Structure 1
Amino acid sequence: MTREIDQWLLDDARTASGEAARQSARLDWLSVTESALDNGGDSISGSVTAIFATADQLSANPNDPTLRSQFLSSVDESASAFRRTSASLASAANGVATEAQSAVDQLNTDLSALTRVNDGLRRARTGSTNEATLLDERDRLVGNIAAAIDVNVTYDARNAAIVRTPSGDPLVDGDYLATVTLSVSAGGLLSFGIAPATSLQIASGRLAGLSDAATHISNQRAGLDSLAANLSSALNGAHQAGFDANGNPGAALFNFTGSAANMTAAALDTSEVATANAASSNGNMLAFNTVRASSGIEQNITAFVAQQAQATAAARAQEAAASGRRDGAFAARDAIGAVDLDREAADLLRFQQAYEAAARTIQVARETMQTMLNIF
């Protein structure tokens, strides 16, 4: 039995598959991150805008208890929005880590299966059906491995696959079988290795895409914390510059300890809203508009969300290009070695009809001969 293959097309398809898997995994989690940051009316952007809007309304009637209550509610909702967004990003980070662990487990399973296929190839008779089946399974497993990480693949005299990392570390080589490991930092960053202590740098495949996504989510979590810090600092300072209904200096509006996940609104009652300054009963609320412009917090949040949207759009375009490249490489590979079931079905029908036609010809010839013999 002879297998129809083109080794260059096989290698090209493997490379294209790895890059497509990377872009697909990255896009999936960037889309999740985009949803977490731009959650419609519950977004951090909308909640911060609501604070300034209610402050503006309160400045027109600073003694109205309902408006004072609305102002405090908007502060509380903004803190809640930051906590929800932080929790969503933390959940995304955990999701990436979980998927990465599953991918590493599957990779180790495929590496182990490849060693068994290699052992079978060393025992198989050359040109046998068993060898052809094992070669197909070898190529399938190598393709799965390359879709997970970037590898260099060579073959020994018995066509057993030797798989190494681009840096030359063996994963499968003869009787040697490596175990790939995963570590997750406190910030959600992923790092890979080969047990017991060899670092593994991955530039392609699903694991590379998950690593990219984990890094991106970690950066977005840090960015969210920075926005929360800026908002707390700006509004706490503005509120503490005024005086409340009892003539006391304003208290902090937010409790912030370094993370948006722990950001809360201070427990104030309506009389503790510092609407006044030394000049008038609404002077401090009027000053909030100045803070709105000088702090730039709304513009910073808008830019933060817009940058995420741009990153997701770019990832979507890259994923589409990589998928198209993969599909083209697969089509070129399959044109040489794959079985076209439609063509096989058509050929089967054609052979069946040819057989029936031949059988009918023989039957007619037999009947004609018998008729001629019966004459005599």
Structure 2
Amino acid sequence: MSDLLSIGASGLKAYSRAMSTIGDNIANAQTPGYARRTLALRETAGGTQSALVSRNVSPGGVTIGGLSRSVDKWLIDDARVSESDATRAATRLSWMNRAEDALSDDSNGISTNLTKLFTTADKLTADPNNKTLRAEFLQAAKDVAAGFQSTAKTLADMSDGISGAAQTAVGELNTNLDALERINDGLRKARPGSTNEASLLDERDRLVDQIATQMPVSASYDDRGTVTLRAAPSGDTLVGNATVTHVAVASAADGRLAFSVAGNSIDPSSGNLAGLGQAADHVADQRAGLDAAAAQFAAQLNAAHQAGTDANGDAGQPLFSGTTAATLTATSLTPDQVAAANASGSNGNMLSLGAMRGANDPEAAWSGRLAEQAQATASARAQESAAWTRADGAAAARDNVSGVDLDQEAADLLRFQQAYSAAARTIQVARETMQALLSAI
């Protein structure tokens, strides 16, 4: 009878733990980073010592072999890499959309005012002495200069914003690296197969996932589950041998970003940091292009205006001063100082200025710049959509293994409840049999 009691007692203990594990699975079905847990149950080995019989017998029953997590390393790595690349694409697209907005006519009116400048020049060819048209011509020039200045400030603020976002991202990354080392320390002390170890492993994987969304990393594990994390593809150690090496970021004068680990330069190819780096490069290129466009525009219009004579017969003055978009300023002129005439007549210079419109004039050059930005943004949008489609598929494949299926858990719960009742009934039968035997004595 003592063997029967041992069998029932072992069943109660094992099935109670199994139901508790299922309860954890159900409670954490929506918890990010949680991997489904399974309790390993096996038949008690022969030749063991039971709780009630102190000799080398085989009482039977069930024993707990430990807790395991349902994970597939390859699927985890694939989902991690896919999400890292999708995060890079999303971050890059976000800032490229802002750059497109900054360059758009709705924001700065450059395109509209360039057209107005040339349209007013055309009107002056018909009425070169009209002071109202002359004033409109000068006002259009001022509005174009103001548009360049506004765009330059917006792009400069954008560079500062990207730099600030990079500083914040690196700070969060380093915080997660420190936390990961604390998890490693906990895993070194955790009892294998325990609930505590499983929770630490879940948190380890969640932190590595978070770090991978910031920059590409490679992870290796020892037999206790502690992770050694390295920057990819440089191989610089971030977490390992009970030490943590932080990532640093620096911003150049034009807003470009440089990342490093322990003084060694790294160039993230995916993750949020890569997206920020690519966005910073794009905005820096746009700022340089804007300065070049402003300088070219000023040089062309100044040369054209200075080729004519004003209403007083004096040589035309420069329309603009400044060599960059931020410093481009319309010269303070009176309507009489608009150089509409030249040697060919009172409207000759306006005719020449109107003839500038074509493939290489400021208006066409600016339209070409807007088209290039729109095309680059459209390409980034397509890449972002494809990257998230890939990431969603990889995450679904991982969740098919690691995720909690509530239907399966409900079926297992019912199965273990019945097993628990059977174990309890076994103890009851043993008790009733023992009482019957004692009563017969």
TM-score norm. by structure 1 comes to 0.90
Match status 1:315 vs 2:390: no
1:58–1:285 CA contact under 8 A, matched in 2: yes
2:153 aligned partner? 87
TM-score norm. by structure 2 comes to 0.77
Task: Quickly say closer, same or farther: Cα 1:113–1:247, change in 2 above 3 A.
Answer: same
2:357–2:364 CA contact under 8 A, matched in 1: no
1:158 aligned partner? 224
Once the two structures are superposed, the pairs formed by residues 97-108 of structure 1 within 5 Å of their partners are 97-108=163-174
Match status 1:326 vs 2:384: no
TM-superposed deviation, 1:344: 7.0
Percent identity, please. 47
What are the superposed Cα offsets for residues 265-299 of structure 1, whole Å, 9 maximum, x if unpaired?
Answer: 00001111111112211111111112223742222
Find 2:245's aligned residue among 166, 170, 178.
Answer: 178
2:312 aligned partner? 246
TM-superposed deviation, 1:343: 3.6
1:285 aligned partner? 350
Task: Quickly say closer, same or farther: Cα 1:41–1:161, change in 2 above 3 A.
Answer: closer
2:358–2:364 CA contact under 8 A, matched in 1: no
Find 1:187's aligned residue among 254, 261, 269.
Answer: 254
Task: Quickly say closer, same or farther: Cα 1:113–1:49, change in 2 above 3 A.
Answer: same
TM-superposed deviation, 1:239: 0.4
Alpha-carbon distance in structure 1 between the residues aligned to 2:235 and 2:129? 74
Q: Counterpart of 1:262 in 2: which secondary structure?
A: coil
Find 2:116's aligned residue among 37, 50, 74.
Answer: 50
Task: Quickly say closer, same or farther: Cα 1:142–1:201, change in 2 above 3 A.
Answer: same
1:126 aligned partner? 192
Alpha-carbon distance in structure 1 between the residues aligned to 2:130 and 2:111? 26
What are the superposed Cα offsets for residues 115-148 of structure 1, whole Å, 9 maximum, x if unpaired?
Answer: 0000000000000000000000000000011111
1:153–1:161 CA contact under 8 A, matched in 2: yes
2:322 aligned partner? 256
Alpha-carbon distance in structure 1 between the residues aligned to 2:127 and 2:395? 69
Which letter maps to 2:242? D
Match status 1:147 vs 2:213: yes
Q: Counterpart of 1:24 in 2: which secondary structure?
A: helix
Q: Counterpart of 1:164 in 2: which secondary structure?
A: strand
Alpha-carbon distance in structure 1 between the residues aligned to 2:272 and 2:307? 53
Q: Superposition RMSD on alpha carbons, in Å?
A: 1.9
Alpha-carbon distance in structure 1 between the residues aligned to 2:129 and 2:360? 26
Task: Quickly say closer, same or farther: Cα 1:204–1:72, change in 2 above 3 A.
Answer: same
Alpha-carbon distance in structure 1 between the residues aligned to 2:155 and 2:383? 23
Alpha-carbon distance in structure 2 between the residues aligned to 1:17 and 1:100? 19
Once the two structures are superposed, the pairs formed by residues 169-248 of structure 1 within 5 Å of their partners are 169-195=236-262, 197-248=263-314
What are the superposed Cα offsets for residues 168-209 of structure 1, whole Å, 9 maximum, x if unpaired?
Answer: 2100002110011000000000000113x2212211111001
Which letter maps to 1:308? Q
Question: Runs of 4 or more off by more than 4 Å in structure 1?
Answer: 344-348
Match status 1:18 vs 2:84: yes
What are the superposed Cα offsets for residues 335-365 of structure 1, whole Å, 9 maximum, x if unpaired?
Answer: 111224x5478659x959x99xx9xxxxxxx
What are the superposed Cα offsets for residues 227-255 of structure 1, whole Å, 9 maximum, x if unpaired?
Answer: 11111011100100111111110000011
Determine which structure has the larger helix proportion and give its number: 1
Alpha-carbon distance in structure 2 between the residues aligned to 1:5 and 1:121? 17
Alpha-carbon distance in structure 2 between the residues aligned to 1:234 and 1:36? 24
Alpha-carbon distance in structure 1 between the residues aligned to 2:411 and 2:338? 85
Instruction: List alignment gaps of at least 5 residues for structure 2.
Output: 1-66, 422-441
